[in-house]
Amino acid sequence: MPDLQIIGIPQSAYVWMTRIACAEKGVPYRHVVALPHTPEVDAIHPFGKIPVMRHGDVTLCESRAIISYIDRVFDGPSLLPRDPIAAAQVEQWASIICTTIDPLWLRQYYAAYVLAARGNGVIDRARIEAAIPKMEPQFAVMDRAVAKTGHLVGDSFTLADAYFTPLVFYMNAVPESAALLAKTSHLKAYLDRHIARPSVQQTKPTNLVHEMLR
Ligand SMILES: N[C@@H](CCC(=O)N[C@@H](CS)C(=O)NCC(=O)O)C(=O)O
């Protein structure tokens, strides 16, 4: 079997999700650290986003497509339940996380810290203040979603949790969202539980971009 490469920086939530999926399945891979819009990424993703994957002659982009390929090609436990309804519910949450949660929590809110760290160190407070009132109801929805079992679907760790845990981790890392998280009944406990998972610990990024502001 040729060498499997997961390409992208470890701080990317989508690279992290993909690496959690590999670790859960026990699939060995080489992590090639590369920023978005660099030649090895642009060669695979039409819009230069990470992660991208190489496996012999096979190249793929988009975390969900990469994880789907790895799940079918390699042996090991799947993060998708066998039950079709539960599997569809996992896909439903993964889609909601990518299309609704991530654009607000990471791209709008956490990006204020990333942009400050990469720029002049000044945090755009208006960007944060605009995001927080929109985040509050989403935190409440996600708090309810994990209330019953501590998982998004069923009572075991699925791909939905592999997609969600990195986002909650980032929310706990910066002050306004950490304060929101501290007020939740279940979401902080959800993070504490899943962050301790070996697959999550083994792949957890260090040198977080916002830490450069301290
Ligand atoms: N839908 C993509 C999202 C990937 C994504 O947005 N990656 C970010 C890093 S976390 C990126 O490459 N951003 C650069 C850009 O959007 O130009 C996936 O599931 O892989």
**Nearest alpha carbon, ligand 1 atom 1:** 62
167 closest CA partner among 80, 100, 67: 100
**Nearest alpha carbon, ligand 1 atom 16:** 49
Is there a contact between 13 and 170 (Cβ–Cβ < 8 Å)? yes
Kindly give the number of the ligand 1 atom that is closest to the alpha carbon of 13: 10
Q: pLDDT by residue for the chain (214 residues), tens digit each?
A: 789 999 999 999 999 999 999 999 999 999 999 999 999 999 999 999 999 999 999 999 999 999 999 999 999 999 999 999 999 999 999 999 999 999 999 999 999 999 999 999 999 999 999 999 999 999 999 999 999 999 999 999 999 999 999 999 999 999 999 999 999 999 999 999 999 999 999 999 998 988 888 6
Q: How far is the CA of 61 from the centre of ligand 1 (A)?
A: 10
Pocket of ligand 1 (CB under 6 A): 12-14, 36, 48-51, 62-64, 98
Is there a contact between 9 and 35 (Cβ–Cβ < 8 Å)? yes
**Would you give the DSSP letter of residue 51?**
-
**Nearest alpha carbon, ligand 1 atom 10:** 12
Kindly give the number of the ligand 1 atom that is closest to the alpha carbon of 62: 20
Tokens of 130: 């605009």
Name the β-bridge partners of 60: 53
pLDDT at 214: 63
Tokens of 62: 């988009």
In angstroms, the CA 110 to CA 104 distance is 8
Kindly give the number of the ligand 1 atom that is closest to the alpha carbon of 106: 10
Asked whether the whole model's pTM tops 0.85, one would answer yes
3-state class (DSSP) for residue 55: strand
In angstroms, the CA 56 to CA 16 distance is 22
**Nearest alpha carbon, ligand 1 atom 12:** 49
Kindly give the number of the ligand 1 atom that is closest to the alpha carbon of 50: 12
pLDDT at 22: 98
Can you point out the beta strands (E) in the chain? 4-7, 30-32, 52-55, 58-61
13 closest CA partner among 59, 55, 80, 63: 63
User: First-to-last CA distance in the chain?
Assistant: 44
pLDDT at 210: 83
Is there a contact between 37 and 13 (Cβ–Cβ < 8 Å)? no
In angstroms, the CA 171 to CA 151 distance is 18
Q: How far is the CA of 148 from the centre of ligand 1 (A)?
A: 31
Q: Which amino acid is at 134?
A: K
Q: How far is the CA of 119 from the centre of ligand 1 (A)?
A: 20
**Nearest alpha carbon, ligand 1 atom 13:** 49
